[in-house]
């Protein structure tokens, strides 16, 4: 069975009253959900609380899940809304993604932005400046662009999945990701030009 088929089977078992099936779904997605929520909620204790809350909300809403989208896409949407609600309740805004908090499985916004010669002090400094610039660029994006680029480049969701999470057409998703990339590239261009001059 594919992952989607396995999820659907476990969802149907849960809907039929099999609590062990939902435990398997939690085990399957707890790590991914925790990493996702960590992009919104920085405190580890709060991350755990919000992750648990997201799973509780998903369990309570599972009766309404009909399989129109992949289970993880549906769960992802619940987790994002839970994290946003948590931040709103405590009067905080959604933070930008930080490169410093990326785990082993995470992807950078653009692999091409990493200098090839990472060993030299100049390259290390440039790399640090680029990471800070990317963070600032992402932080300055409107929320819809920031969410779209994070889901695509960091979480690795497809355009279809992002459209499902953001409840908008795929064309809108493509436009948001394009605009986000353009904005980030615009901020990085001066650094990349400087870096190429320094190497020659």
* Residue pLDDT, tens place only, 14-64: 999 998 999 999 999 998 888 888 888 888 888 899 999 999 999 999 988
Q: Which residue has the higher pLDDT, 155 or 71?
A: 71
* Residue pLDDT, tens place only, 109-164: 333 333 344 456 665 666 677 777 777 888 888 888 888 888 887 777 888 888 98
Distant-in-sequence contacts of 156-163, Cβ < 8 A, 24+ apart? 156/107, 157/73, 157/76, 161/69, 161/70, 161/72, 161/73, 161/76
* Residue pLDDT, tens place only, 170-195: 999 999 999 998 888 888 787 766 54
Q: Can you tell me the distance from the alpha carbon of 163 to that of 177, in angstroms, rounded to the nearest whole number? A: 11
Q: Where are the alpha helices (DSSP H) in the chain?
A: 3-15, 19-38, 44-61, 71-89, 121-140, 143-149, 159-166, 170-199
Entry pTM: 0.56
List the domains of the chain with CATH numbers. 1-95 (1.10.1740.10), 100-200 (1.10.10.10)
Site of tokens 């999820």:
7
Q: Can you tell me the distance from the alpha carbon of 72 to that of 29, in angstroms, rounded to the nearest whole number? A: 8
Residue 199 pLDDT exceeds 70: no
pLDDT at 22: 92
Contact 25, 11 (CB under 8 A): yes
Q: Which residue has the higher pLDDT, 1 or 82?
A: 82
Q: Can you tell me the distance from the alpha carbon of 42 to that of 74, in angstroms, rounded to the nearest whole number? A: 23
């Amino acid at each position: 069975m594919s992952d989607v088929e396995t999820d659907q089977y476990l969802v149907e078992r849960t809907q039929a009253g099999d609590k062990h099936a939902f435990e398997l779904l939690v085990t399957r997605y707890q790590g991914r959900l925790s990493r996702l929520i960590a992009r919104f909620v920085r405190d580890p204790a709060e991350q755990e609380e919000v992750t648990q809350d997201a799973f509780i909300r998903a369990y309570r809403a599972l009766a309404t899940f009909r399989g129109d989208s992949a289970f993880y896409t549906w769960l992802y949407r619940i987790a994002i809304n839970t994290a946003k609600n948590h931040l709103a309740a405590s009067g905080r805004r959604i933070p930008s993604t930080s490169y410093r908090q990326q785990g082993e499985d995470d992807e950078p916004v653009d692999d091409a932005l990493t200098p090839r010669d990472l060993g030299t002090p100049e390259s290390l400094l440039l790399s640090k400046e680029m990471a800070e610039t990317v963070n600032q660029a992402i932080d300055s994006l409107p929320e819809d662009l920031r969410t779209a680029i994070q889901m695509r480049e960091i979480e690795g969701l497809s355009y279809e999945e992002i459209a499902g999470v953001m409840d908008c057409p795929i064309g809108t998703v493509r436009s948001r990701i394009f605009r986000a990339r353009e904005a980030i590239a615009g901020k990085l261009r001066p650094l990349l030009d400087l870096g190429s001059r320094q190497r020659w």
